[in-house]
Amino acid sequence: MEYVCCNLCGVDDTLFLFLAKDRNSKAQRLFRIVQCRRCGLVYLNPRPDQEEIKGYYPPWYHDRARAGITDIEETTAWGITWRELMRKKAAPLLKRKTQGRILDIGCGDGSLLKYLQGLGWQTYGVEFNDVPAKYAREVLGLNVFAGRLEEAHYPEGAFDVITLFHALEHLPDPRQTLERTFTLLDQKGLLVIEAPNFASLEARIFRSKWCKVTAPLHFYHFTPPTLRLLLKNSGFALQQLRCIPPHIKYVSEYSESLRYCLLDLGLYPRGEQWMEAMRRESSAGFTKPAWGGPLHFMEYLIFYSLAYCMAKIGRGSTMLALATKAP
């Protein structure tokens, strides 16, 4: 375990928020979530070091890569087809850039890169976990570096687009990574970041039970103000920051958080069996409701409407940021 200061302002003065469980293991170890009193950044402290954290990623975290699936275009995730999911994921960058050189940081098994390669992009990826990185290289034929961005040797200004889709919160040093990203991005390039929003209504309601706390895999929990400050301190000019309206299946994140509340209270029937099923079915996403039958429809109607409205007023659970190099 290692103790760290605030990555955003460097100050070691925090407010304790809550203890979060490692829900990916049966041991369910507790981790401290704190907030910097100076800048407001929320983070895990103390935390596993870079060797220890590898042991916290569960076997099912990269199911598709471990299974060696070759027909990736036939798979589904979160209840929708691979191609449709990738189309939605790539939409923000494709509205601004139609082709070019892209680097996906935290690229996982390379799904997004494979999709963009089919559209004519020159694709590159960086992935900390060896298993999905190897899958991306050997099965999908992609150019993916296994390790940290700071260890990869790319020339300055090499990329037209650099993306971090739900990767920023996993990084041990987000500021260092974004500073390196700044040097690798072309002068007219685009940075795309998607990350959980700790200022969302969902996070405020569920707190330690919020499914996106994901201790200890998520080192940092950003809000619009802290993400803005991080980008500014790293040399970027923010072009757009908004919350993303949920896809029809994403509403199940509320169901997952609700289940955690019920499990901790001992009120969820067959809770342990559900946890095991959740781990086995992770590659398909958390698409099942907390209850079946008529209650499913009510749950969907309430949570989807709430999630959509919260995204529209800037309190949704996922942020999308587009940035360029500051002049």
**With left for phi above 0 and alpha for psi between -120 and 50, is residue 78 left, alpha or beta?**
left
Residue with tokens 């955690």: 260
What's residue 265's pLDDT? 87
pLDDT bucket at 80, cuts 50 / 70 / 90: low
pTM of the model: 0.91
With pLDDT > 70 as the criterion, what percentage of the chain qualifies?
A: 83
What's residue 44's pLDDT? 99
Q: DSSP string covering 59-116, please? A: GGGGHHHHHT-S-GGG-EETTEEHHHHHHHHHHHHHTT-SSSEEEEET-TTSHHHHHH
Q: Are 27 and 20 in contact (CB under 8 A)?
A: no
The larger pLDDT score, comparing residue 150 to residue 277, is at: 150
What's residue 154's pLDDT? 97
DSSP SS3 for 267: coil
- The DSSP call for residue 28 is -
Domain boundaries, the chain: 69-245+318-325, 252-308
What's residue 286's pLDDT? 37
Determine how β-strand 80-81 pairs with β-strand 101-105: unpaired
Residue with tokens 């050189």: 101
Q: What's the rounded Cα separation, in Å, for the pair 146 and 277?
A: 30
**Mean pLDDT, rounded, for 121-149:** 95
Range in 94-98, 155-159, 178-182 the model is least confident about: 94-98
**Mean pLDDT, rounded, for 222-251:** 89
Q: Give the right CATH number for 69-245+318-325 from 2.60.40.60, 3.40.50.150, 3.40.50.720, 1.10.8.80.
A: 3.40.50.150
Which pLDDT tens digit goes with each residue over 271-318? 555 555 555 544 443 344 444 556 666 777 788 888 889 999 999 999
Q: What's the rounded Cα separation, in Å, for the pair 8 and 84?
A: 36
Count Cα atoms within 13 angstroms, Cβ side, for 152.
Answer: 25
Q: What's the rounded Cα separation, in Å, for the pair 295 and 10?
A: 48
What's residue 327's pLDDT? 86
Mean pLDDT for the chain? 87
What's residue 29's pLDDT? 94
Q: Are 48 and 56 in contact (CB under 8 A)?
A: yes
What's residue 282's pLDDT? 46
**Mean pLDDT, rounded, for 144-172:** 97
By residue count, the chain amounts to 327
Q: What's the rounded Cα separation, in Å, for the pair 45 and 14?
A: 10
The larger pLDDT score, comparing residue 46 to residue 59, is at: 46
Q: Is the pLDDT of residue 134 over 80?
A: yes
Strands annotated E in 106-256 = 122-127, 144-146, 159-165, 185-196, 220-221, 236-243
- The DSSP call for residue 273 is H
Which residue type does 149 have? L
The larger pLDDT score, comparing residue 292 to residue 121, is at: 121
Which residue type does 219 have? F
Q: Are 12 and 205 in contact (CB under 8 A)?
A: no
